[in-house]
Amino acid sequence: MKREPMRAFYIGRFQPYHFGHQGVLEEIARGCDEIIIGVGSAQLSHTFSDPFTAGERILMITRSLKDLDALVYVIPIEDIRRNAVWVSHVMAMTPLFDVAYTSNPYVIRLFKEARFDVKSPPLYQREVYSGSEIRKRMLHNEPWQHLVPEPVVQVIEQIDGVHRLKQVAAGDKTSDLL
Amino acid sequence: MKREPMRAFYIGRFQPYHFGHQGVLEEIARGCDEIIIGVGSAQLSHTFSDPFTAGERILMITRSLKDLDALVYVIPIEDIRRNAVWVSHVMAMTPLFDVAYTSNPYVIRLFKEARFDVKSPPLYQREVYSGSEIRKRMLHNEPWQHLVPEPVVQVIEQIDGVHRLKQVAAGDKTSDLL
Amino acid sequence: MKREPMRAFYIGRFQPYHFGHQGVLEEIARGCDEIIIGVGSAQLSHTFSDPFTAGERILMITRSLKDLDALVYVIPIEDIRRNAVWVSHVMAMTPLFDVAYTSNPYVIRLFKEARFDVKSPPLYQREVYSGSEIRKRMLHNEPWQHLVPEPVVQVIEQIDGVHRLKQVAAGDKTSDLL
Amino acid sequence: MKREPMRAFYIGRFQPYHFGHQGVLEEIARGCDEIIIGVGSAQLSHTFSDPFTAGERILMITRSLKDLDALVYVIPIEDIRRNAVWVSHVMAMTPLFDVAYTSNPYVIRLFKEARFDVKSPPLYQREVYSGSEIRKRMLHNEPWQHLVPEPVVQVIEQIDGVHRLKQVAAGDKTSDLL
Amino acid sequence: MKREPMRAFYIGRFQPYHFGHQGVLEEIARGCDEIIIGVGSAQLSHTFSDPFTAGERILMITRSLKDLDALVYVIPIEDIRRNAVWVSHVMAMTPLFDVAYTSNPYVIRLFKEARFDVKSPPLYQREVYSGSEIRKRMLHNEPWQHLVPEPVVQVIEQIDGVHRLKQVAAGDKTSDLL
Amino acid sequence: MKREPMRAFYIGRFQPYHFGHQGVLEEIARGCDEIIIGVGSAQLSHTFSDPFTAGERILMITRSLKDLDALVYVIPIEDIRRNAVWVSHVMAMTPLFDVAYTSNPYVIRLFKEARFDVKSPPLYQREVYSGSEIRKRMLHNEPWQHLVPEPVVQVIEQIDGVHRLKQVAAGDKTSDLL
């Protein structure tokens, strides 16, 4: 009889997906058969902190991981604004998993109170790879392409993403117009 | 056969409506038959940034524009907290329009991604007319009445608006009480 | 230079996933490179009409399609209760697609008003394969396993799905208790 | 000194706007200076019961009433799904009014519990003019144009409204597809 | 050292609270120190199925149970429209409890999937005591007062509850007016 | 004939409940028969500003007030994000009350616009007792237990509350991980 696959859960906002995420996922893939990647704050887009839609982020991730050994599920998770039910919400949107990977103490706490097995992967060169750093570089016309897998560069170019990020950032600053 | 009227869309929060808005709308009116004025963040009121209800803002606008040549629709638009569907939301709440007028780069971006014709009206003396400036003047007992059309002064007096703005501002600062 | 892949969109509630869906998807796969499968009403579960969670449905679909030639994205789509923005909502949650496949006249209408290319695949033996028929069979202890791919039987057994369906159906009938 | 205008409130779903509504509004106009017309269930559209968007309904009403003596505000009111706060919700979206006109006992009750002056206008030939009757006629290709003002016919033609109504009705009947 | 009190949870809609509920609660009280009573669908009111507000229901229950031995918490629980997170939602709104009492197979299922200890109290003369039966009697001017504790009669009289129920029921039938 | 009890309403977030609240409530209890305590922002928990669930706060309050002379209703009030309907929302969730007690100018304003009798109790040693001060002390391992009633200490220990507060605070600071 076939055993159930060992399944891991990993969550991020992926604004955008970068080599820090990729490094952690390659590490996780060594210890399990299947990985569920939750795309957090899925309903957000078109702001400076969250420029890309869930669909765009799913595309970035799927293409960057196409050679990974583990089977990958990429699943958008909309915010539910009630922390006490957030873990149940995640569980309803995903296949059952055995272990949750996260370095965020807040997410660790929520999973632990729900009695989940939580592991904190070592952050992959966090001083170099960070979504907010990459977004700042885009805003200031500094190089960012070397911080993300090649398919991410392609997706962002295709959707005119850097221009979008700059425009919505400008709107944020003068929001009293609206 | 009668041609369809040329229809323009203009959006703001109008907290409160002021001569800056009025100047832009008078300019827009010269180039179209009908103007749809979207009253943004319609569900908000009773905060320092958004002191007035949608109904109060509709009254300010309608009375201030009663002599405009164009036919005016004043329509509250509630926030939908999902930027990617915001343009569809606006379109569902309004008659079809030919062009959107806005100076906010963020709103420009959303309309352009939805393939709308967007025009940026020159801001009408923005250094003088600004909602946040007017609210600050109300808070600090400085003159603000000369910055808004006369009917706006009347509406704000009738609803005891300056006192409301001061009280909700005070509550904001000590929100830990609630 | 590599051309963009041809991408199709197909949506259903998949309560549960059955050979009717499978037949249509195998047909669609012949005409495109990638298929996005939207799991509709994703937030629903534990009712007679919608017994399975989005995560359980994603598992059924992914396992049943693991040998399909096309690359498959399986994406939960939560209801947004505003038909006029539903297409925008779908587009925000998915990678861009070239054509939408659906036989539901209502979904056809929404996509057509949004100027999408819509195709209606011939229903695959609809008199035999239908979600509501399968759920009725589960309720009345009639055979249903031959109507769904083998992995769907496994998922439903693993989650004790038939028993769940019977219990929530019983609760529906006496809902005045709650 | 100018007195405040006498203002009336009237609410309906206007799916579509018809001579029954028009007759009642002409009667109300005789007794007040301004009328606020609330377009109820504003967020709904594209179903058999609620085929038209708020924007389309606003257009029908505004054009049909352009010769009315009273000043008219046409304001979309989204459902709030909490009856106990519905009157407050209406009041926040509208200028202050002196009297509410409605024949719906349920709406009468809500306004009376909020201590509003409510009047029930005699229904204008209700056996002839009714939204559900008009929608059924559209569905069955029976004449309906004589039951609505001319501008309503124009709006519905322009948006291909009868075809939309038929398609979404067909989708409702086979909703298990989605 | 003091042991933690034994705490039970019981949920209903209580439209209205009646002797069937009272009988079950008196039975539960014999086996525990504290009872949490969840007032379900708390956000609903002013419909025929759910005529009374959460506050009115809390008053009915608190007054009817003032002589119960167990400490009673009466807590409104708003619907969350996502069955898969409903148990977490209840747990966030209530003190921790040891056992859930319910006769609804659907609620039993949700609690069991969340690994709760669930007990089904014998229904107290269900053929006699039932919320929907009591509401029908109110609608048709038949005696209902003997089916509920005396304080419930008082609360319903004070809020003119029977008249409310009749009016909202009438509105439901002619809802196309709105 | 028995007169209706004099009922007061008092609202707070109680993150956590402390002697400042207790002092005010003991004062209010002297002037009325029953007190309704609204637990505000009930849906929030697991953040630094709002660490405790509604259920945990209800437990803190009920146990701390068990010797109070007045009958106490402790009722969670979820945020409704529409200030203009907030008072109606509170009224739907609570038994009718005669007077609202609050020191927050913002809440005073909302109740006054709804024509409620509002009283501002003298804050009980506000420089000493404050929720945000207590949470800061927990974060920095400074003594806080003397600022809250003994049952609050017990509840917080039981739920491992200080550790929770520290972890969610740490997550807030690095939220870009999610």
Testing the interface with B: which of F106, F111, F112, F120 to mutate, by most B Cβ within 10 A?
F106
**Angle A51-A53-A54 (CA atoms, 0-180°, nearest 5)?**
130
Task: Could you list the beta-strand ranges (E) of chain E.
Answer: 7-12, 34-39, 71-76, 99-101, 118-119
**Two structure tokens written together for C68:** 């399909």
How large is the average pLDDT for residues B141-164? 98
- Mean pLDDT for chain A? 92
CA E150 to chain centre: 16
Identity of the residue in B40, B83, B105 whose CB atom sits nearest the CB atom of A47: B83
- The HSE-up count of residue C56 (CA atoms within 13 Å, CB side) is 25
User: 3-class DSSP state for residue D39?
Assistant: strand
Contact of D28 with chain B, judged by CB distance below 8 Å, is answered with no
**CA–CA separation, B73 vs B52, rounded Å?**
19
CA D82 to chain centre: 20
- Please list, in sequence order, all residues whose beta carbon lies within 8 angstroms of the beta carbon of residue A49, skipping any fewer than 6 positions away: A15, A132, A135
DSSP for D140-173, written as a single string: TT---GGGS-HHHHHHHHHTTHHHHHHHHHHHHH
Cβ-contact D124, D148 below 8 angstroms = no
Contact of C38 with chain D, judged by CB distance below 8 Å, is answered with no
Is the pLDDT score of E112 beyond 90? yes
Interhelix angle E161-173/E150-158, nearest 10 degrees:
60
**CA–CA separation, D165 vs D48, rounded Å?**
6
**CA–CA separation, E46 vs E26, rounded Å?**
29
- Alpha carbon separation from E113 to C159, C161, E87, E88 (Å, rounded): 10, 11, 9, 11
Question: Which residues partner with E39 through β-bridges?
Answer: E12, E76
CA A12 to chain centre: 3
How large is the average pLDDT for residues F120-146? 91
Identity of the residue in C59, C92, C95 whose CB atom sits nearest the CB atom of A59: C95
- Alpha carbon separation from D88 to B55, D37, F83 (Å, rounded): 11, 16, 10
Helices (H), D45-82: 54-64
Q: Which chains touch A (3 or more CB pairs under 8 A)?
A: B, C, E, F
How large is the average pLDDT for residues A99-123? 91
- Alpha carbon separation from F94 to A7, C133, C144 (Å, rounded): 46, 45, 49
DSSP for B61-82, written as a single string: HHHHTTT-SSEEEEEE----S-
How large is the average pLDDT for residues B27-32? 94
Instruction: Tell me the count of A-B CB pairs closer than 8 A.
Output: 55
The pLDDT value given to residue C3: 74
Contact of F106 with chain B, judged by CB distance below 8 Å, is answered with yes
User: 3-class DSSP state for residue C141?
Assistant: coil
The pLDDT value given to residue E3: 74
Q: What residue of C is the nearest CA neighbor of D44?
A: C82
**CA–CA separation, C100 vs C9, rounded Å?**
5
Is the pLDDT score of F173 beyond 50? no
Contacts of A53 in chain C (CB under 8 A): 91-93
Is the pLDDT score of E172 beyond 70? no
Residue with tokens 């007990």: E119
- Mean pLDDT for chain C? 92
Is the pLDDT score of A91 beyond 60? yes
Testing the interface with E: which of D9, D17, D109, D110 to mutate, by most E Cβ within 10 A?
D109
The pLDDT value given to residue A171: 75
Q: Output phi, psi for E31, to 5 deg.
A: -105, 10
**CA–CA separation, A105 vs F173, rounded Å?**
10
The pLDDT value given to residue E2: 63
Is the pLDDT score of C133 beyond 90? yes
- Please list, in sequence order, all residues whose beta carbon lies within 8 angstroms of the beta carbon of residue B48, skipping any fewer than 6 positions away: B135, B139, B165, B168, B169, B172
Is the pLDDT score of C33 beyond 70? yes
Fill in the DSSP letter of residue C149: -
Positive/negative CA dihedral, F101, F59, E12, E155: negative
Q: Which chains touch F (3 or more CB pairs under 8 A)?
A: A, B, D, E
Comparing C-alpha atoms, which of D144, D102, D123 is closest to residue D9?
A: D102
User: Percent of chain E scored above 90 by pLDDT?
Assistant: 83
The strand pair at C99-101 and C7-12 is best described as parallel
**CA–CA separation, C92 vs A41, rounded Å?**
12
| Tens digits of residue pLDDT in A141-168 | 999 999 999 999 999 999 999 999 999 9
- Alpha carbon separation from A44 to A10, A15, A47, A91, B41 (Å, rounded): 19, 10, 8, 20, 17
Extract the residue ranges of chain D whose pLDDT is less than 70.
1-2, 172-178
For the question of an ipTM over 0.85, the answer is yes
The pLDDT value given to residue C178: 59
**CA–CA separation, A112 vs C20, rounded Å?**
41
Cβ-contact B16, B152 below 8 angstroms = yes
How large is the average pLDDT for residues C130-151? 97
Contact of F100 with chain E, judged by CB distance below 8 Å, is answered with no
Confidence of residue B1 (pLDDT cuts 50, 70, 90): very low
Contact of F72 with chain E, judged by CB distance below 8 Å, is answered with no
| Tens digits of residue pLDDT in F14-70 | 999 999 999 999 999 999 999 999 999 999 999 999 999 999 999 999 999 999 989
The residue with greater pLDDT, D52 or B122, is: D52
The residue with greater pLDDT, A158 or F124, is: A158
Residue with tokens 């209502």: C106
The strand pair at D118-119 and D99-101 is best described as parallel
What pTM, to 2 d.p., does this model score? 0.95
User: 3-class DSSP state for residue C95?
Assistant: coil
**CA–CA separation, B129 vs B123, rounded Å?**
9
How large is the average pLDDT for residues B50-61? 98
The pLDDT value given to residue E175: 46
Fill in the DSSP letter of residue E73: E
Testing the interface with F: which of A9, A17, A21, A106 to mutate, by most F Cβ within 10 A?
A106
Residue type at C48 in one-letter notation:
F
User: 3-class DSSP state for residue B13?
Assistant: coil
Q: Output phi, psi for F118, to 5 deg.
A: -120, 135
Positive/negative CA dihedral, A140, A146, A152, A158: positive
Burial grade of A77 (CB within 10 A; 0-12, 13-18, 19 or more): buried
**Angle E158-E163-E169 (CA atoms, 0-180°, nearest 5)?**
135
Lowest-confidence segment of B136-145, D114-123, F151-160 by average pLDDT: D114-123
- What's chain A look like in SS3? CCCCCCEEEEEECCCCCCHHHHHHHHHHHCCCCEEEEEECCCCCCCCCCCCCCHHHHHHHHHHHCCCCCCEEEEEECCCCCCHHHHHHHHHHHCCCCCEEECCCHHHHHHHHHCCCCEECCCCCCCCCCCHHHHHHHHHCCCCCHHHCCHHHHHHHHHCCHHHHHHHHHHHHHCHHHC
Contacts of F74 in chain E (CB under 8 A): 73
Partner-chain contact B168 F102, CB within 8 Å: no
- Mean pLDDT for chain F? 92
How large is the average pLDDT for residues C121-141? 89
Is the pLDDT score of A105 beyond 80? yes
Contact of E143 with chain C, judged by CB distance below 8 Å, is answered with no
**CA–CA separation, D75 vs A46, rounded Å?**
29
| Tens digits of residue pLDDT in A30-89 | 999 999 999 999 999 999 999 999 999 999 999 999 999 999 999 999 999 999 999 999
**Two structure tokens written together for A149:** 């897998």
The pLDDT value given to residue C172: 58
